[in-house]
Structure 1
Amino acid sequence: MDFTKLSATLLVALCAQSTQAASASEDEVAALNQCILNQTISGDDTRTIKEVREYCEQQVSALSQLDKRMARERVTEKNRNVLTPHHRNYILPVSYIKNPNNRPFDGFADMANKEGEPLDNVEAKYQISLKLPIYHNFKDKDQAIYMGVTLQSYWQVYNKDISSPFRETNYEPEIFWVNFLDDENVLWGDEMAFVLGISHQSNGRSQPNSRSWNRIYANFIWEYDGFVFSFKPWYRLPEDEKPADNLAKGDDNPDIHKYMGYFELSGAYRFDNDHEVGMMLRNNAGGDNRGAVQLDWSFPISGRVRGYAQYFNGYGESLIDYNAHIQRLGLGIAITDLL
């Protein structure tokens, strides 16, 4: 690599940041710098620094929120020392549950030699979600196949009476194909993508608290005037009926569809350059109207450190609580956002 050329390009990026800061958002400046660096590392060696900068400025000026995320991901995918986020990554050191689901943990009361409910109302919650491109050599460069994994954990960190256990951890590996549609193929909105995948989600526990299910899903993602929406319907792959309750073989939760439903509708919007709000809605589309709503807000604190607030109300927050109504409010740190 020509380090002289790289240093000069980085200088151009810094100049671009200083000259455009007044009119461009932080995301646009970051996308411009990343584009310049990416073009230097893997672009056409015959272009001058000025041509690279003009090319990147043209690209960034027309970027939608989906474009910006895809551009950032393209940069991280080519860096073997960086992991690419999938869903939001966060940690809530403090979250309050109005009525914790104690049924799977009734035995803890005797084990801890105490009376009453074993679970605290206050616990920590965190999510780690990453993905890796496993094939992107399609003729259409807007298509790729990814492998992803999401880990979500609930930690009774303040509950010393039962030795502060991780009461539940859900694991969701998946493989999915993504296609960002060309402008002429967009059905609605300003930008659109289509995802088709298969996922397995389980809590990795033995009977009687084992929970799991497998799904084939589609995801329709579109952007309109800066608002990004996702409609994700799924089909649960059927499992054999369990011959006896405490046997590992068979379906651990045959009625999960009654609480998790058949689809998820979510959305996100970024405003004032640094604040992001989001929502998630689920419903089983039945007469009992079981569902869930989640509201999210991330906001700047200092540099890469971002605050994050989350509110959840409904069924299916975790697999162990899929059939229990949970209401939670948490506050913590967002490691990566959606947009």
Structure 2
Amino acid sequence: MKFLQMFCLLFCFSLTSISQTLEEPMVQTDIISKSYSQQWELDSIHKKGTFRLVSHKPIYITAGRWSSNPNEKPYSENPEYSATEAQDFNRYEAKLQLSFKTKLLQGLFWGKADVWLAYTQRAYWQIYNKDLSRAFRELNYEPELIFVYPLKIKAFGGYFRSTGVSVNHESNGRDFPLSRSWNRIIFHLGYENENWIVSINPWIRSADTDDENPAITKFIGNGEVNVGYSYNRHEFYTIIRHPFDRIKGGSIQLNYVFPMKGHLRGHFQFFHGYGETLVDYNHSQTTLGIGISFANW
């Protein structure tokens, strides 16, 4: 809890400074069409100072999302954190993801490295379920502190552009027995080749005294790979997770973002595997969603 409180305080502090330092729109509307260097301000010409609020992970609203196997009775390998009664969830719901970051420190280590504070929130809303008063089924909160060091190493026709590490906390803020959380040290290596962006992110899970989800890495995985590609305002990105020590587990998320009218863009999302939400970390399902996208990788 102290970990989460520290990040929330830092994040609130950054928000109080934004009104004085914000020079551009809060949301970047063409993330993949921007270079990887621009996204993370890796080159000196892209440095824009501290405490500006910009998008981090994709931002979207999926009004229609279908699940092949709703998790009506979540369980944990720790029996104290298993549901005792099933909930009658609809197969259809809405999903929202908001994600922002702000730079806390700029120009460390020979004037090159930066430190960012980021926050991502995902919401799964049973908006079509009258019997459950259209309640939110699950909310996931993910603050993280990110250290980024720029690179420019030529390889495979492109460049490795950054490396770094982040301290990451993710939780669902729910009461016992459906509370879920974990802390991670996440490493990253970013690669760019024209319209392609690839990020490799292995992680190490920190030990928890009272473990609410003991086997979370066996199901969600020990790392993820993000791959993004843009072509004539059409954008594709995928997120792949998998455990290193077993065949079963992991997930794949495929996204297609397409122009509709003006700056309005549609978003199609496919997911298959474990851990679409924290409470679903050991539950496998396939989901399809359609909605509106505001910012992407």
* TM-score, with length taken from structure 1: 0.70
The percentage of counterpart residues that share the same residue type is 33
Task: Report what 1:262 is aligned to.
Answer: 222
Distance of 2:234 and 2:42 partners within structure 1: 18
| Amino acid across the alignment from 1:336 | A
Distance of 1:251 and 1:106 partners within structure 2: 18
Task: Report what 1:290 is aligned to.
Answer: 249
Distance of 1:102 and 1:232 partners within structure 2: 31
Alignment deviations for residues 9-46 of structure 1 (CA, whole Å, 9 cap, x no partner): xxxxxxxxxxxxxxxxxxxxxxxxxxxxxxxx9xxxxx
2:286 aligns with one of 299, 304, 327: 327
* Structure number with higher helix proportion: 1
1:300 aligns with one of 256, 259, 273: 259
Correspondences of 1:30-179 after superposition (within 5 Å): 65-70=35-40, 83-104=53-74, 107=85, 118-138=88-108, 140-179=110-149
- Helix, strand or coil at the partner of 1:320: helix
- Helix, strand or coil at the partner of 2:90: coil
Distance of 2:103 and 2:56 partners within structure 1: 11
The more displaced of 285-294 and 223-232 is 285-294
Contact 1:77 1:84 survives alignment (8 Å)? no
- Helix, strand or coil at the partner of 2:280: coil
- Helix, strand or coil at the partner of 1:214: strand
- Helix, strand or coil at the partner of 1:205: coil
Q: 1:224 Cα deviation (Å)?
A: 2.1
- Helix, strand or coil at the partner of 2:119: strand
Q: 1:134 Cα deviation (Å)?
A: 0.6
Contact 2:98 2:122 survives alignment (8 Å)? yes
Task: Report what 2:180 is aligned to.
Answer: 211
Alignment deviations for residues 77-107 of structure 1 (CA, whole Å, 9 cap, x no partner): 5697x63001011110111111111013774
Contact 1:284 1:290 survives alignment (8 Å)? yes
Distance of 1:287 and 1:79 partners within structure 2: 42
Alignment deviations for residues 215-274 of structure 1 (CA, whole Å, 9 cap, x no partner): 00101110124211111000000122xxxxxxxxx11111111101111012000001x1
Matched, 1:220 2:189: yes
Q: 1:186 Cα deviation (Å)?
A: 4.6
Distance of 1:123 and 1:75 partners within structure 2: 40
- Helix, strand or coil at the partner of 1:328: strand
| Amino acid across the alignment from 2:187 | A
| Amino acid across the alignment from 2:97 | Q
Aligned length: 256
Distance of 2:190 and 2:55 partners within structure 1: 17
Describe the shift of the 1:119–1:125 C-alpha distance in structure 2 as closer, same or farther (beyond 3 A): same
* Unpaired segments ≥5 residues, structure 1: 1-40, 42-62, 110-117, 241-249
| Amino acid across the alignment from 1:84 | V
Describe the shift of the 1:287–1:191 C-alpha distance in structure 2 as closer, same or farther (beyond 3 A): closer
Matched, 1:235 2:194: no
- Helix, strand or coil at the partner of 1:69: helix
Distance of 1:219 and 1:71 partners within structure 2: 16
- Helix, strand or coil at the partner of 2:121: strand
Contact 1:215 1:236 survives alignment (8 Å)? yes
Structure 1 segments, 4+ long, off by >6 Å, are 72-76
Describe the shift of the 1:220–1:72 C-alpha distance in structure 2 as closer, same or farther (beyond 3 A): closer
Distance of 1:146 and 1:169 partners within structure 2: 23
- Helix, strand or coil at the partner of 1:204: coil
- Helix, strand or coil at the partner of 2:108: coil
* Unpaired segments ≥5 residues, structure 2: 1-22, 24-32, 75-82
Describe the shift of the 1:275–1:236 C-alpha distance in structure 2 as closer, same or farther (beyond 3 A): same
Distance of 2:149 and 2:143 partners within structure 1: 20
Task: Report what 1:30 is aligned to.
Answer: none
- Helix, strand or coil at the partner of 1:190: strand
